Structure 1
Amino acid sequence: MTRQGCNCVPVGCKGGGCGFCKVVVLSGEYECGKMSKLHAPPEAIQQGKVLACRIYPLTDLVIEHRAEPGD
């Protein structure tokens, strides 16, 4: 997203540790890189709640970003 100039999701550490870029993937396929279990526990990942900096799209994705604390 950053390379294409899309600034719809805030960027933090870019390494999966801060949780700043947490999103919900609504549709599409992706692979996950290593993420902090504090910000993206396995059960959240299964529900599509992931860190944008650590997912690798395999198809077009539809994502939702919530700017609310605790999401």
Structure 2
Amino acid sequence: MEQQGVKCVPVGCRGGGCGFCKIRVVEGEYECGKMSRAHAPPEAIEQGEVLACRIYPVTDLTIECLEPSAPGETSEQTTTRALR
């Protein structure tokens, strides 16, 4: 996403631990790497809420950029954008 110039996704640790890059995948397929359960618990991942730094797109994705949240808080939508 950095290569695409997408600025709605904040950049943090790039390792899946800080939760700063939390997004919601609205459409498309991806694979997940390891990420903090505090910021991306299994039930959130099932709903497409993941950490951008730890997903690997298999197809084009449509994402919603979410405000970074503390563990256990609900994030709110700020932007939706299709990436190709």
On whether the aligned pair clears a TM of 0.5, the verdict is yes
Q: Which runs of 4+ in 1 moved over 3 A?
A: none
- Over aligned residue pairs, what C-alpha RMSD do you find? 1.3
Give structure 2 stretches of 5+ with no counterpart.
76-84
Which structure has greater strand proportion? 2
Give structure 1 stretches of 5+ with no counterpart.
none
TM-score normalised over the length of structure 2: 0.78
Would you say how many aligned residue pairs link Structure 1 and Structure 2? 71
| Alignment-derived partner of residue 56 in structure 1 | 56
- Map of 1:11-30 to 2, 5 A cutoff? 11-30=11-30
Question: Whose relative contact order is higher, 1 or 2, with alpha carbons under 8 Å and at least 6 apart?
Answer: 1
Please give the secondary structure, in 2, of the residue aligned with 1:43: helix
Deviations 1:4-63 (A, max 9, x none): 322220000000000000000000000000000000011110110000000000000000
Distance 2:43 2:27 in 1: 17
| Seq. identity, % | 69
TM-score normalised over the length of structure 1: 0.92
